[in-house]
Structure 1
Amino acid sequence: MSSKILKIGQISDMHIGEDESLVQGIDVRANFMKAVDSKSMQDLDLLVLSGDLANEDAEPGAYRYFADFIKKSSVPVCVIPGNHDRIEVMEKYLDLKGKVQNGKCFYRYDLCGKSIFFLDSACGDVSMEQLEWLKSEAAKVKGEIILFMHHPPCFCGHRFMDLRYHLRNMVEVQETLAGIENLTHIYTGHYHAQFEVSMGRQIVHVAPSTQMQIDPNMPYFNLQSAAPGWQVIKWGENFVETEVYFE
């Protein structure tokens, strides 16, 4: 395991539209760039875009926007799809070579002696193929790993999202994750709100959205804020620290 402290930025639920038009009255491209350009995101070793890159239905213009952004990025960028993305459209614009199997985008990314895993929950669940792969691959790593996926693998206390848009096979996913001894920190998005939830010995860090925040206290959709939010992870030899930021 490397002694280097990795700094990883996580941006989730950007909901970029086909063009520069406002999305639900919000300049989502400006919000995304506020996160990217913030002082907290300087000197990253990796940037993770954890799903819902596109606004509603995999708009090609969204993926063209991110392809151009990634091409200009000075740091590596890892991407997974969310429920508003379609992998067959993403593949036309983004380099996902070796990361897609049987229509699902899941992979391991090694950086500075540390291993980062990515799962695909875009359809609302995580396939058994992915869960078996994760168990097998995680067992090959001696040190701690971290995991990114779009949907939280647990309920979070968000009345609207927990009720309508939770991960469907939560029990199976939790059973698999609980059996991975070198996994403590799980990073997700999807809920358009920030949460940190204990799931046994594991901690689920739910990133806010750069599009907007949804009020977690209401059982129906209620816009809480149009300000963007994001997470920054610092991962050292014996620690993982996570900070959440809002514009």
Structure 2
Amino acid sequence: MEKKVLKIGQISDAHIGDDDRLVQDIDVRKNFLTAYNSESMKDLDLLVLSGDLADNASTDAYSFIAGVIKDSKVPVCIIPGNHDNLEVMEKVFDLKDKVHNGKCYYRYDLDGRSIFFLDSADGTVSSDQLSWLEQETAKIDGEVLLFLHHPPCLCGHKFMDLRYSMKNIAEVQATLSKIKNLKHIFVGHYHSEMTIQLEDKTVYVTPSTQMQIDPNITVFCLSSAAPRWRLIEWGENFMETKVYFSNTP
């Protein structure tokens, strides 16, 4: 019997501040709520928060997010980004069995399918994680999905590629190329919507609910303060994904 199409929401780079004050003149809490409460996020099977949940890794920022998602009707999977602090996150979120040697990485099974999450918060994916990913995906016959914060490739984003790209891209790509049942990788970090072909895999860069950065110039330039987020529909031999956005921040 054909498995159901899973509906997955992805929110990335919320950069929630310590309190209600604006972050870089942006109401990031309002932006996060706009994404979370949008019609496109109704009837999900899973919600993924893919890093940079907080701007300064404060307990209050994480507590705001925890307060929003506590009544979620679906599971919520969380990974840290470079602005996050995993030790603080562990005090606020239930990350039991998801943190190993100071890194947050894990496999989540849903309706007979497997989704993998890696920790690139320090700008790298550790060799321990890569070995684990290769071993775990080999145990699975069907297709898997992967989420992490940093793109495992350069993306043609002139500002982010130059300053904030993943530090061990070659090592990560060498492992990914071995995993033949992985075709779709979802990331954040770049504050832009981009789709990159990496050999037989597609990397989907999900924009931010905080703000978007102009990818066409080498210096920082805000292109929008309106939130954006992603919806993923994943079935057997089927993948459809769309970025949604609000016109007003």
Which bracket does the TM-score occupy, shorter chain normalised?
A: over 0.9
Secondary structure in 2 aligned to 1:68?
helix
Residue 102 in structure 1 maps to residue 68 in structure 2: no
* Separation of aligned partners in 2, 1:2 and 1:178: 28
- Residue deviations 1:187-239 (CA, integer Å, cap 9, x gap): 00000000000001100000000000000011010000001011110011111
Secondary structure in 2 aligned to 1:184?
strand
Residue matched to 1:38 = 38
8 Å contact kept, 1:2–1:113: no
TM-score normalized with structure 1 length = 0.98
* Separation of aligned partners in 2, 1:158 and 1:245: 20
- Residue deviations 1:50-99 (CA, integer Å, cap 9, x gap): 000001x3111111112212211111100000000010110011100000
* Separation of aligned partners in 2, 1:110 and 1:18: 33
Unpaired stretches in structure 1, ≥5 consecutive residues: none
* Separation of aligned partners in 1, 2:200 and 2:84: 31
Secondary structure in 2 aligned to 1:72?
coil
Residue 72 in structure 1 maps to residue 78 in structure 2: no
* Separation of aligned partners in 2, 1:94 and 1:69: 12
* Separation of aligned partners in 2, 1:67 and 1:32: 12
Q: Which amino acid aligns with 1:14?
A: A
8 Å contact kept, 1:11–1:231: yes
- Residue deviations 1:92-135 (CA, integer Å, cap 9, x gap): 11100000000000000000111000000000100000000000
Q: Which amino acid aligns with 1:190?
A: H
8 Å contact kept, 1:10–1:49: yes
Residue matched to 1:18 = 18
Q: Which amino acid aligns with 1:127?
A: S
8 Å contact kept, 1:116–1:146: yes
Residue matched to 2:173 = 174
Residue 233 in structure 1 maps to residue 232 in structure 2: yes
* Separation of aligned partners in 1, 2:123 and 2:237: 33
Tell me by how many angstroms 1:240 deviates.
1.3
* Separation of aligned partners in 1, 2:39 and 2:89: 29
Tell me by how many angstroms 1:7 deviates.
0.1
User: Where do 1:156-195 residues align within 5 Å?
Assistant: 156-195=155-194
Residue matched to 1:205 = 204
* Separation of aligned partners in 1, 2:61 and 2:77: 16
User: Where do 1:127-146 residues align within 5 Å?
Assistant: 127-146=126-145
Q: Which amino acid aligns with 1:21?
A: R
Q: Which amino acid aligns with 2:47?
A: L
- Residue deviations 1:16-63 (CA, integer Å, cap 9, x gap): 0011111111110110111111111111000000000001x3111111
Mean CA deviation greater in 57-66 or 75-84: 57-66
* Cα root mean square deviation, aligned: 0.9
Give the number of equivalent residue pairs: 246
Unpaired stretches in structure 2, ≥5 consecutive residues: none
Secondary structure in 1 aligned to 2:70?
helix
8 Å contact kept, 1:2–1:114: no
